[in-house]
Structure 1
């Protein structure tokens, strides 16, 4: 019983740490998961090119998906287990939703192995991955905003406390990403400090729900750079060329959206910094079997 799926990374419009409301958009950098189910009774995970990586999240995704939908499959071993292997273009702990992409790809690959991928609504598959992320302790907010953008594509606005999708629409932009050498783990973020910028987060949520995503992410960027201790210089360097720019997640990456020619100007500025910059696009098709 074999399944395979790929999920896109995502960039931030609104960080959910302040109020529980978040917003994100899918970008064209993917994580692929391959799942093989058998009768071993245990699930073992591996991450390509990272033999020491923590695989608890993807293992829980397989286990939860089998528990939830195994009875709907045509045939499942009595003592089901298996293997899951992920491979990613998305740097880990960089604020680009690598955990959400890995969870989504793994859940959908497991559903593919069970033969039920086309029968399960994508939003339900997304919630399953979010539940696994909480169980594995890799998220503070549940990351339903990040996970929904990765699973559904486009840009989403969510209530992470209720796992409720408040809005989703297509989002067609070029994207510039700068990732510094350091890494930041969302589970280590100072939540109390982030809650102090809740009034700004409320403003960002209003802008996002009005469809002003680029203005929203720029306000978010300045607010959360201050709250999380990141420099705002990359934001200033991107303006006014970019349509919008923000710290992505809890950092350290920054994302800018707009027209490609304008983003090339921003790239020249960001290229003077340590780390890597790369141009890509948004994605509207979300997670898919391959």
Structure 2
């Protein structure tokens, strides 16, 4: 039994470490998962190009999907392999993308349908035991918590990756507060260093909760670009990252921010403007690349 799925990376509008409220947007760079199920009773994982990678998250995703959606006589184990265009531990939601892709690939292998809206006649007609896409996302978030790779549960990051577009969430209850398409060009700068979310200083982030509340309100009002810029300055201060990349992007870019807990930065706006910002960011060590937002979200392939 074989399944395959891909899920996009994402950038940050609001980091959820301060208050549990978060917001993120999907970008057009993907992680792909391939799952082969068997009756071994164990799950093994592999990350392409990184034989020493921690595979607990993707293995846990397969285990939970089998436990939740496997029927009597279904496979009890298997193998999962991920390949990614998204650098790991760079603040671009690589873990969320890997979890989403693995959950969908496992459901694909189980021949369990995934639907966007259970109330849509064209989706629900004749479909039994279907899984709503946002619930598949929540299962991946649960796996991330079990694997210890997230502080907040990352439902904001995971929902943007799974659903596409931009989302606003309350991570304390895995509640989706807002979701809409986003049509932005996106510039990404990723330095060579890496930063792991689980290592972030949560207490320092909690000190800027009043600022995070303002960012949340702006995001819920649809002012995502202003929200991400305020978020960027605040979390650079809280997490000890230099804010110069944000300053370099302004005032030309519509918005710019530290992505996640770093070290990547993203800027959004018109391609012409972002090409000028790229000239500045490209002088920095690391990798700078132009992409777009992604509205389709995670899908089987």
TM-score of Structure 1 vs Structure 2, range by shorter chain: over 0.9
2:177 match: 166
Alignment partners' CA distance in 2, 1:190 and 1:52: 26
Runs of 4 or more, structure 1, over 6 Å off, are none
For residue 246 of structure 1, give the secondary structure of its aligned residue in structure 2: strand
Q: Mapping of 1:12-27 within 5 angstroms?
A: 12-27=12-27
For residue 135 of structure 2, give the secondary structure of its aligned residue in structure 1: helix
> 1:196 pairs with 194, 198, 207, which one?
207
Is 1:115 equivalent to 2:126 in the alignment? no
| TM-score normalised over the length of structure 1 | 0.98
Alignment partners' CA distance in 2, 1:86 and 1:8: 13
Cα deviation, 1:88-119, whole Å, max 9, x if unaligned, reads: 00000000000000000000000000000332
Alignment partners' CA distance in 2, 1:187 and 1:214: 26
Aligned length: 286
> 1:247 pairs with 230, 249, 258, which one?
258
Is 1:84 equivalent to 2:80 in the alignment? yes
1:276 match: 287
For residue 252 of structure 2, give the secondary structure of its aligned residue in structure 1: coil
Cα deviation, 1:4-46, whole Å, max 9, x if unaligned, reads: 0000000000000000000000000000000000011100000
RMSD: 0.7
- Displacement of 1:250 in angstroms is 0.1
1:212 match: 223
Alignment partners' CA distance in 2, 1:56 and 1:232: 33
8 Å contact from structure 1 (residues 176, 263) kept in 2: yes
For residue 283 of structure 1, give the secondary structure of its aligned residue in structure 2: coil
Alignment partners' CA distance in 1, 2:58 and 2:26: 20
Where does structure 2 lack aligned partners over 5 or more consecutive residues?
A: 115-129
2:94 match: 98
1:2 match: 2
Is 1:136 equivalent to 2:144 in the alignment? no
8 Å contact from structure 1 (residues 108, 117) kept in 2: no
> 1:258 pairs with 269, 281, 285, which one?
269
8 Å contact from structure 1 (residues 97, 146) kept in 2: yes
Is 1:285 equivalent to 2:296 in the alignment? yes
1:70 match: 70
- Displacement of 1:76 in angstroms is 1.5
Q: Mapping of 1:138-157 within 5 angstroms?
A: 138-157=149-168
Alignment partners' CA distance in 1, 2:192 and 2:109: 37
8 Å contact from structure 1 (residues 2, 113) kept in 2: yes
Alignment partners' CA distance in 2, 1:35 and 1:117: 16
- Displacement of 1:241 in angstroms is 1.1
Where does structure 1 lack aligned partners over 5 or more consecutive residues?
A: none
Cα deviation, 1:124-152, whole Å, max 9, x if unaligned, reads: 00000000000000000000000000000
Cα deviation, 1:254-277, whole Å, max 9, x if unaligned, reads: 000010000001000001110010
For residue 142 of structure 1, give the secondary structure of its aligned residue in structure 2: coil
